[in-house]
Structure 1
Amino acid sequence: MTEWTILGAGALGCVIAGQLHQTGERVGFMLSERHRGHFHPNLDLITLSGRHQLIQSQPRFPEHARKVECLLVFTKAYHVLEALQELQHLPKSTPVILFNNGMGLSEQVKALLPDNPLLVGVCSHGAMKEQDWLVRHTGKGDTWLGPLNEAGKAWQHLIKPLAKALNHCEWSDDIALHQRRKLAVNAVINPLTAQYNISNGQLAEPRFKEAVEQLSDEVYQVISNLDASSAESREDFRRRLAQVIELTAANHSSMQQDVTHGRKSEIDYITGYILQHAEGIPVPVNQQLYDEIKNREMHKTKLAAQN
């Protein structure tokens, strides 16, 4: 393979692109129509050490899809299907790796791309977009790769270059387990930080103790009920949640950023997923946060339409 193609030039997509480039891999960005005709600058990556590195990447557009060798999808969850539908000439042999937040898209992507090798990537690297084409790598993390369909199982060899670039990448035949564990953490951190307009680290303050405990208990019960055989203990989940809050203390969650800037959030694929799979488990805090954030989104949309 001579080039990785990144679909979704957000914070994490840009950081992964930068990490791949630093290990000698070629990277291209699949861009939307709004970028056509505009100057495509080099990506400015601020590394963990604080150094600026200019990353050269090739701009790609949907008509170039037939040349894509491996597609890494980092778009917002609600844009994934629309973005993939635009790539009408994507070869059926091209592996597609979904790195989007939340859960609930798997069956729809399988139906859309029934012949492509489909995989899921779960990545906990910290990333923050400071402005267009300027991103900061804010923390190391683990990366897991696993198959979404039978054809995806033949692409386990992709973990080698990804591990070289990201310091860690392992294969998991049960990638849904890692998706659920990441979702559980996001379902606590994202809606609370969005609702209260705070950084991740502020959730460790005493004033949020009760909210964090109530929400984490609800989320834990729902996630554990999905697959009791592989569920972690409540104590292990709380420790993992506290560790993520500590390690990403200075970060602002993607949902907090979206709500603050009046953009649509991924609440439907995070908290919405918890609500859809509660199956009789009481989740009043999840429901309240979902309703409040959806109401704020609707209010922003109405204001934008009036202007």
Structure 2
Amino acid sequence: MREWTILGAGALGCTFAALLNEQQRPVSLILSERHRRHFNPAFEFIALNERRRLVSPHYRFADQAAATECLLVMTKAYQVLPALKSLHNLPRHVPVILLHNGMGVAEQVASLLPHNPLLAGVTSHGALREGPWQIRHTGKGETWLGPLNEQGKAFSHLLAPLSAALGHAGWSEDILSLQHRKLAINAVINPLTACHHIRNGQLAEPRFADVLATLGEEVHRVLSRLGESDTPEQYQRRLNSVIELTATNYSSMHQDLAHGRPTEIDYITGYLLKHAGDLPVPVCQQLYNEVKKQGG
């Protein structure tokens, strides 16, 4: 039985660990060095039905990467490269799945790990850290994986255990398009909720109608330049649906700013600004500047 190793013991990483553990799948979490002398043997997981249980995965540190069989990278986007660079003895045959917000990291990972099978994923599961070693699963959604290199194409069989644990896992040969779709949603919801200190659902209030429309137009134009074929109407319906489905959630960027942590703005809005070229995107730029000003 393949053990799943998760790099990134944040809210979503711990949620995936708990869901895999519930299916009797061996799971390990790679912790940062600051936990070497002080960490809990278990974390409390609060499921969607409010059931609470203690989860006890295996804990490892970077110098134990040689034991890895399958690596799920679930750190923040800006942590991906430093975290992978610390895994000096990661075997070349181990599949590495990038499951982080934002874009712009995969190319650097491909240079860092030229021999490993590389895959990317997108997920709409939601999770929240409620306290030290206390994780709440806030939303169930779809998860998609796809290959980033030729070696990665041989690992679609990883879907079966993931699907059993998560409720859904699909395979896409065009994972880039799915990443773009998620980025297009995050580039609206995350900076707006972070700057205005609100839950996702509050974006449906009339006061945000104009900025939602203008920002949505900007994001759609950039995604069209990147080759995406969604019409503005299709994109707007998907955006409104996500806002409604995650109405009670706080976005990850909101949580990062609220707790004084760095945000992933450079890999979300920053990615769009980088690829906008001569397209006018003033609202994207304004939100990027504001998140940076607030410490992100």
Counting only pairs closer than 5 Å after superposition, residues 156-195 of structure 1 correspond to structure 2 as 156-195=156-195
SS in 1 for 2:248: coil
Shift of 1:39: 3.0
SS in 1 for 2:49: coil
Shift of 1:28: 0.7
Mapped to 2, the partners of 1:39 and 1:205 lie a distance apart of: 42
Structure 2 residue aligned with 1:55: 55
Structure 2 residue aligned with 1:241: 239
Shift of 1:200: 0.5
SS in 1 for 2:247: coil
Structure 2 residue aligned with 1:36: 36
- Using the TM superposition, name which of 55-64 and 187-196 deviates more: 55-64
Shift of 1:209: 1.1
Structure 1 residue aligned with 2:230: 232
- Contact 1:62/1:87 (8 A) holds in 2: yes
Mapped to 2, the partners of 1:32 and 1:39 lie a distance apart of: 10
Mapped to 2, the partners of 1:171 and 1:84 lie a distance apart of: 24
Matched, 1:275 2:273: yes
Structure 1 residue aligned with 2:77: 77
* Aligned-pair Cα RMSD in Å: 1.0
Counting only pairs closer than 5 Å after superposition, residues 50-199 of structure 1 correspond to structure 2 as 50-199=50-199
Q: Given residue 281 of structure 2, which amino acid in structure 1 is its aligned partner? A: V
Counting only pairs closer than 5 Å after superposition, residues 188-267 of structure 1 correspond to structure 2 as 188-228=188-228, 231-267=229-265
Q: Which runs of 5+ in 1 are unaligned?
A: 299-307
- Contact 2:101/2:264 (8 A) holds in 1: yes
SS in 1 for 2:276: coil
Structure 2 residue aligned with 1:21: 21
TM-score by length of 2: 0.98
- CA deviation profile, 1:9-52 (whole Å, cap 9, x unmatched): 11111111111111110111001101101133312111111110
Mapped to 1, the partners of 2:177 and 2:32 lie a distance apart of: 32
TM-score by length of 1: 0.94
The alignment covers a number of residue pairs equal to 296
- Contact 2:2/2:70 (8 A) holds in 1: no
Mapped to 1, the partners of 2:210 and 2:258 lie a distance apart of: 24
Shift of 1:96: 0.5
Mapped to 1, the partners of 2:70 and 2:137 lie a distance apart of: 23
- Contact 1:41/1:133 (8 A) holds in 2: no
Mapped to 2, the partners of 1:39 and 1:78 lie a distance apart of: 24
- Extract structure 1 runs of 4+ deviating beyond 2 A: none
Structure 2 residue aligned with 1:302: none
Q: Which runs of 5+ in 2 are unaligned?
A: none
SS in 1 for 2:24: coil
Mapped to 1, the partners of 2:6 and 2:132 lie a distance apart of: 15
- CA deviation profile, 1:235-258 (whole Å, cap 9, x unmatched): 111111111111111111111111
Structure 2 residue aligned with 1:303: none
Q: Given residue 251 of structure 1, which amino acid in structure 2 is its aligned partner? A: N
Mapped to 2, the partners of 1:129 and 1:39 lie a distance apart of: 16
Q: Given residue 46 of structure 1, which amino acid in structure 2 is its aligned partner? A: I
- Using the TM superposition, name which of 54-63 and 38-47 deviates more: 38-47
Shift of 1:202: 0.6
Structure 2 residue aligned with 1:2: 2
- CA deviation profile, 1:156-197 (whole Å, cap 9, x unmatched): 100111011111111101100110000000000000001101
Mapped to 2, the partners of 1:284 and 1:57 lie a distance apart of: 46
- CA deviation profile, 1:146-165 (whole Å, cap 9, x unmatched): 00111111111001110111
